[in-house]
């Protein structure tokens, strides 16, 4: 594990808390990952997705397992996906029309994926992608959803993700949760950037559902083979299951909200933005 990450964890949580979170900072070697194998349960689960497809890429198999266990799952999409297509060579009226079309297409794709995974509720907060960090409406909207749903577990992209909207989603969630008294567990998931996991979920039973859900996102699959990339990462994560298990797993940084908040706030702003 990098010295930078060790320093950040120590600064954020103090030595006593670090000792209680050994699984998060232990050896992250390819073949010796130390992570708890979690069993998704029932209750109320909320998934924060900066873009429509992040939820399926990062934790689609886990979402489906929660649903099979009887959980009530809500997915909240923070942005409207308007920049998920090229507008090169178009006039302004043509761009406006194309923008409306792509937003509608991506919403329909998200609804398709949600049905396949068994998600009971979808919310669309419609921030402009790329501008999530400066959108002042979204934290208040998310706060309303958190207070209504009272989740016991919230999934969101890791704060060390490559994409700036993914990192910004952490600030949105923590701002939304501040002062609510909610005590949920945060589970940071990986989309573009592999993380150092302390928790993995075996998704062999639901990987077919994840593949079908990803196939809904045709507007994005035209640009890149996200299915191949996501399942390759999930195959790699199965190493944490030990032995010759093979199969597929999704990996997370799982911490109570208060600890997750301390860790996030200890990251230098220059790395986040």
Mean pLDDT of 16-31: 43
Residue 204: pLDDT band with limits 50, 70, 90: very high
Q: If phi over 0 gives left and psi between -120 and 50 gives alpha, with beta otherwise, what is residue 52?
A: beta
Place of tokens 């016991």: 152
Residue 23: pLDDT band with limits 50, 70, 90: very low
Q: Domain of 44: which CATH number?
A: 3.40.50.10320
Mean pLDDT of 155-172: 93
Total Cβ atoms within 10 A of residue 108? 13
Tens of pLDDT along 60-118?
A: 999 999 999 999 999 999 999 877 666 667 777 767 787 889 999 999 999 999 999 99
Question: Are 197 and 252 spatial neighbours (Cβ–Cβ below 8 Å)?
Answer: yes
Residue 11: pLDDT band with limits 50, 70, 90: low
Q: Could you tell me if residue 141 is inside a domain?
A: yes
Question: Are 108 and 81 spatial neighbours (Cβ–Cβ below 8 Å)?
Answer: no
Residue 216: pLDDT band with limits 50, 70, 90: very high
* Dist CA 170 CA 178 (whole Å): 12
Q: Could you tell me if residue 247 is inside a domain?
A: yes
* Dist CA 251 CA 58 (whole Å): 8
Q: Domain range holding 128? A: 37-265
Q: Could you tell me if residue 32 is inside a domain?
A: no
More confident residue, 50 or 25: 50
More confident residue, 126 or 8: 126
Tens of pLDDT along 33-61?
A: 568 899 999 999 999 999 999 999 999 99
Q: Could you tell me if residue 174 is inside a domain?
A: yes
Q: Which residues contact 70 (CB under 8 A, 6 or more apart)?
A: 42
CA dihedral 210, 216, 220, 221 (to 10 degrees): 70
Place of tokens 């919230």: 154
- The pLDDT value recorded for residue 264 is 87
Place of tokens 């910004």: 168
- Both tokens of residue 168? 């910004």
Q: Could you tell me if residue 5 is inside a domain?
A: no
**If we measure between CA atoms, which residue out of 211, 214, 189, 209 comes closest to residue 199?**
189
Q: Which residues contact 47 (CB under 8 A, 6 or more apart)?
A: 55, 59, 63, 73, 74, 75, 76, 119, 154, 155, 156
Question: Are 189 and 166 spatial neighbours (Cβ–Cβ below 8 Å)?
Answer: no
More confident residue, 223 or 23: 223
Q: Could you tell me if residue 240 is inside a domain?
A: yes
Question: Are 151 and 46 spatial neighbours (Cβ–Cβ below 8 Å)?
Answer: yes
Tens of pLDDT along 232-267?
A: 999 999 988 876 667 999 999 999 999 999 998 887
Q: Could you tell me if residue 261 is inside a domain?
A: yes
**If we measure between CA atoms, which residue out of 209, 206, 190 comes closest to residue 251?**
190
Q: Could you tell me if residue 4 is inside a domain?
A: no
In this predicted structure, the answer to whether residue 32 has a pLDDT above a threshold of 60 is: no
Q: Which residues contact 162 (CB under 8 A, 6 or more apart)?
A: 192, 193
User: For the chain, how many structural domains are there in total?
Assistant: 1
Total Cβ atoms within 10 A of residue 204? 16
Q: Which residues contact 59 (CB under 8 A, 6 or more apart)?
A: 47, 155, 187, 189, 201, 250, 252
- The pLDDT value recorded for residue 273 is 58
């Amino acid at each position: 594990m990098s010295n930078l990450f060790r320093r950040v964890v120590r600064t954020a949580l103090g030595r006593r808390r670090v000792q209680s979170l050994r699984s998060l900072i232990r050896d992250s070697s390819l073949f010796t990952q130390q992570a708890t194998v979690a069993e998704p349960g029932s209750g109320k689960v909320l998934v924060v997705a900066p873009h429509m497809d992040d939820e399926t890429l990062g934790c689609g198999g886990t979402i489906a397992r929660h649903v099979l266990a009887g959980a009530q799952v809500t997915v909240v999409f923070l942005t409207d996906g308007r920049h998920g297509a090229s507008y090169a060579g178009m006039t302004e009226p043509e761009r406006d029309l194309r923008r409306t079309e792509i937003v509608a297409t991506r919403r329909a794709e998200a609804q398709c994926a949600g049905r396949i995974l068994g998600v009971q509720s979808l919310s669309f907060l419609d921030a402009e992608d790329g501008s999530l960090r400066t959108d002042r409406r979204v934290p208040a909207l998310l706060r309303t959803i958190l207070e209504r749903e009272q989740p016991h577990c919230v999934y969101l992209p890791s704060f060390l993700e490559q994409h700036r909207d993914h990192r910004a989603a952490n600030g949105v969630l923590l701002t939304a949760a501040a002062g609510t008294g909610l005590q949920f567990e945060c589970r940071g998931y990986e989309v573009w950037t592999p993380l150092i996991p302390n928790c993995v979920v075996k998704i062999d039973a639901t990987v077919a559902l994840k593949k079908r859900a990803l196939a809904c996102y045709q507007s994005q699959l035209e640009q890149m083979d996200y299915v191949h990339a996501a399942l390759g990462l999930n195959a790699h994560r199965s190493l944490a299951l030990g032995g010759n298990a093979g199969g597929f797993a999704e990996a997370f940084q799982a911490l109570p909200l208060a600890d997750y908040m301390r860790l996030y706030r200890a990251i230098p702003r220059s790395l986040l933005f």
